[in-house]
Amino acid sequence: MRILTAAALATLLLAAPALAATETPGRGEATAATAQPMTMSEAKQVARAHLKETKNKGWLGTGRQVDGKYHFKVESREGVPLGTIVVDPATGKVEG
């Protein structure tokens, strides 16, 4: 068992906020340096959420990757193309 002197204890208490700031992120958290681009299925979930938020009546069709971004077709029930939703995997934002 180690007994700390008052000076050593004060040093540890002063350093605690700095040590807490350097901790690794917990589960479900990511830093900018460790964040990974999203997968096609994650991008499809973002596109589906965008369709629901905008109350669009279209169906989410096939997806493909072009220039590092995911493009999803929006189709009617009959399969008529209505447009395209573009999801940026780096930011997770919808671009169109």
Other CB atoms within 10 A of residue 96 CB: 10
Q: Give the pLDDT confidence score for residue 30 in this predicted structure.
A: 52
> If DSSP codes are grouped into helix, strand and coil, which group holds residue 7?
helix
Token output for 32: 């900018």
pLDDT in tens, 30-82: 555 556 788 999 999 999 999 889 888 888 989 999 999 999 999 988 888 89
Question: How far, CA to CA in Å, does 57 sit from each of 22, 60, 76, 83?
Answer: 47, 10, 8, 12
41 in a domain, yes or no?
Answer: yes
Say if residue 43 is exposed, middle or buried (CB neighbours under 10 Å; 0-12, 13-18, 19+): buried
Q: Give the pLDDT confidence score for residue 27 in this predicted structure.
A: 53
88 in a domain, yes or no?
Answer: yes
Domain span at residue 56? 6-94
1 in a domain, yes or no?
Answer: no
